[in-house]
A and B are shown apart, each in its own frame.
Chain A
Amino acid sequence: MNPDFLLGIASVAGVSMIIAAVRAIFVRDLLSAIILVGFVSLTASVLFFLMDAPDVAITEASIGAGISTVIFLWGRSKVREE
């Protein structure tokens, strides 16, 4: 096994995670922010997988993919703004 490969995957995942997080904070549309937070959760799951924590990766994937997204989408549709 070549450790440089894992370093490359970690760099790609980490850099894209931070860029997506910054964009999620500063994007104007709230629905786009929710989708970007879902992407951050995905890359966090890849990083947990890389850090030899498969249990944590399963939990993060199953929580971040479905339940967290649905909670925020529900809030977006029920919040009242004038």
Chain B
Amino acid sequence: MSNTFSLILLVLLGAGFAMAFIRLVIARTAGDRAVALDGATLISVDLMVLMAFLMGRSMLLDVVLVYALLSFLGVLAIARYLEGGL
């Protein structure tokens, strides 16, 4: 039961990651790329939670916490650059 559940989650998350990645590669402007980077970051946070579940170590969730807290900073810096303040 757990295997099927994980497989469904993996396929859904992989599809979302692939779509964000395609948008990242063929984007027209840099703002598009920044939004696609944010989406890919969110989906990879979910992917890392799933990996910690598959490996069976709750200790690895610290990494995901750091990533979710700090990945916001890159997009914020890009926004600050686009408004001319860096």
Contact = CB atoms under 8 A, between A and B. Distances in A.
Interface of chain A, helix or strand or loop or mixed? helix
Given A29-B30, A65-B67, A16 B17 contact: yes
Interface of A: 1-2, 5-6, 8-9, 12, 16, 19-20, 23, 29, 31-32, 35-36, 38-39, 42-43, 45-46, 49-50, 52, 54, 57-58, 61-62, 65-66, 69-70, 73-74, 76-77
A54 B66 CA distance: 11
B6 A32 contact: no
Contacts of B25: 19-20, 23
B71 A61 contact: yes
